[in-house]
Each structure stands twice: as structure tokens, then as C-alpha cells.
Structure 1
Amino acid sequence: MEPMLSLIKDPGRPQKVPRRDIADAIVYVMRTGCSWRQLPADFPPWETVYGQYRRWEWRRVTERIVDCGRRSRSRPGVTRCRRRGPSTRSG
């Protein structure tokens, strides 16, 4: 997952919360099924995580992160995920 996070470029001001922390929180919500407001205190604020999730979901970044996680779990020792081309999603 780490190589994919370094490729994500969001326009605007510099990030205050590391992308890895946000990605970990999103994966936690997806795996446990808890609500955004129930994120444990070890994660960034739920508003920050949910806002980033919405932006990444629109760009289908979360889909690729989850696919990458599934592939690496099914093939132990695999740490890199290939980057796909740009999304064809129209806005």
C-alpha cells in the first residue's frame, strides 16, 4: 500500500495528517464495519478521515488500496502493488 500512497497527489495546502494514518483508518472502518464517528482515538479525527475517503472514493483510490491489500494478503511476501493507469471516471 505504501507505494500507492506516495503517488496520490491532492491539490491544495500541505497535509497535516500522514496519508498512511488516513489509509489505515479507512481500512479499519471497511474491515470492522464501524461508523466513522466510532473510530478509535489512535486514528486521526473522523471528519478528516471521512473527508479524505470521499475524495479518494470519487477518484477510485480506495478501490485500488483495497485490491492491493487483498492481493498482498493472498500472496505473503508481496509488498508492492502495481499502479494502474488514470481513472476513466468522468465527472
Structure 2
Amino acid sequence: MWTTENRGRYNRSKLRYPSDLTDEEWKLVEPLIPPGKRGGGKRTVIMREVVNGLMYILSTGCQWSAIPKDLPPKSTVYDYFDLWSWDGTLNRVHEVLYVECRERASREASPTAAIIDSQSVKSAEKGGPTIRLAMMPARVRPRRRASSMEEGSIRRVVD
């Protein structure tokens, strides 16, 4: 509910970009960011700025090349996004923030009910044979140029 207290809490006008993390938000995320690799040079990038770069991309939907110059380079932000997607860091951050939000709202950490709308049910209706399309690999015949149908033909498969 938009009370005077909540308006102040969600006011982002003092941040550089509305997508930047507040100090309170960064305190939740910082412990979940893995430390730099052992050996080699010391990490020179500021992790909060990398997360701010990711949040900027997510909130604006802009292209990687359109990241503002005062955030880390697009290659740095993308490389950390790629690494954190692969090693599960983003999933851990999501899980911790999800649980924190539910607990702050005085709810159990995991929901106990789900809603299935009519569109979800329609996609799983039963009746009649299911027809699915399957990509078949091209047949290769030596010393003959393949026709367009053989290069990647689609077959109907009936279950």
C-alpha cells in the first residue's frame, strides 16, 4: 500500500539510475557474490557496479552495447552475467531475495498454493492423437547435391 512511509522507502530519485541498488539492497546481495579466483591478479572491477549494470539491462531492456559509460564495460558485465548464470549465482540471489520478500510480507518462505489459469489447462488438454513436428537430419548421398527438402526436412510424428 502506498503510505507516506512506503513512498519514502521506494523512492529512487537519489540514485544515479532507478535500477541501481540501494545500500540496503546491496547488503542482501553482496554476500551471495562469489569471491575472486585464487591466484592471478586481484579483481579490479567493483562488483556492485557489475550488478548495477545487470540491473540496468534488465530494467531498461536495452542492448548490451547501450550500457552507459559510467557503468563497467559491456564485456565485463556480460562475462559476469554468463559466469553467474553458469555457476548458479543468479539462481541463489533470486532464491534469497524471493524468500526475504515473502518473509517481510509475513508469509511463509515457500508458497503453499498455485493457480492454474485456463490457458495453462488448454495447452495440456487430452483427446485425439498428439501430432508433433520433429526435425530430421539430412540424408547425405555421396557425389550428389542435396535437394532443399533433404537438407533439413520436417516429418510429422503421430503419438
* TM-score bracket for this pair, using the shorter chain length: 0.5 to 0.7
- Of the two structures, which has the highest relative contact order with CA contacts closer than 8 Å and spacing of 6 or more? 1
Unaligned runs of 5+ in 2: 1-28, 106-159
- Scaled by the length of structure 1, the TM-score of the pair is 0.64
Q: Return the letter of the residue paired with 2:55.
A: V
RMSD value, Cα: 2.2
Q: Which has the higher helix share?
A: 1
Question: CA offsets per residue over residues 18-50 of structure 1, 9 Å max, x none?
Answer: 111111111221222111111111210111111
The structure-2 alpha-carbon separation of the partners of 1:33 and 1:48, relative to structure 1 and needing over 3 Å to count, comes to same
| Count of aligned residue pairs for this structure pair | 74
- 1:65-80 equivalences under 5 Å are 65-70=93-98, 75=104
Q: Which of 21, 25, 30 is matched with 2:49 structurally?
A: 21
Q: CA deviation at 1:66?
A: 3.7
Match for residue 32 of structure 1 among 36, 52, 60: 60
- Separation of aligned partners in 2, 1:38 and 1:27: 13
Secondary structure (helix, strand or coil) at the match of 2:71 reads: coil
Distance 1:66 1:39, change over 3 A: farther
1:3 has 2:31 as partner: yes
Residues 37, 73 of structure 1: CA spacing in aligned structure 2 closer, same or farther, 3 A cutoff?
farther
Separation in 1 of the partners of 2:99 and 2:68?
A: 26
Higher Rg of the two aligned structures: 2
Query: Residue 72 and residue 29 in structure 1: after superposition, are their counterparts in 2 closer, same or farther (change >3 A)?
Result: farther
Q: Does residue 1:46 correspond to 2:46, yes or no? A: no
Q: Give the structure with the higher percent strand.
A: 2
SS in 1 for 2:68: coil
TM-score, normalisation: structure 2: 0.40
**Higher mean Cα deviation, 27-36 or 16-25?**
27-36
Distance 1:50 1:69, change over 3 A: same
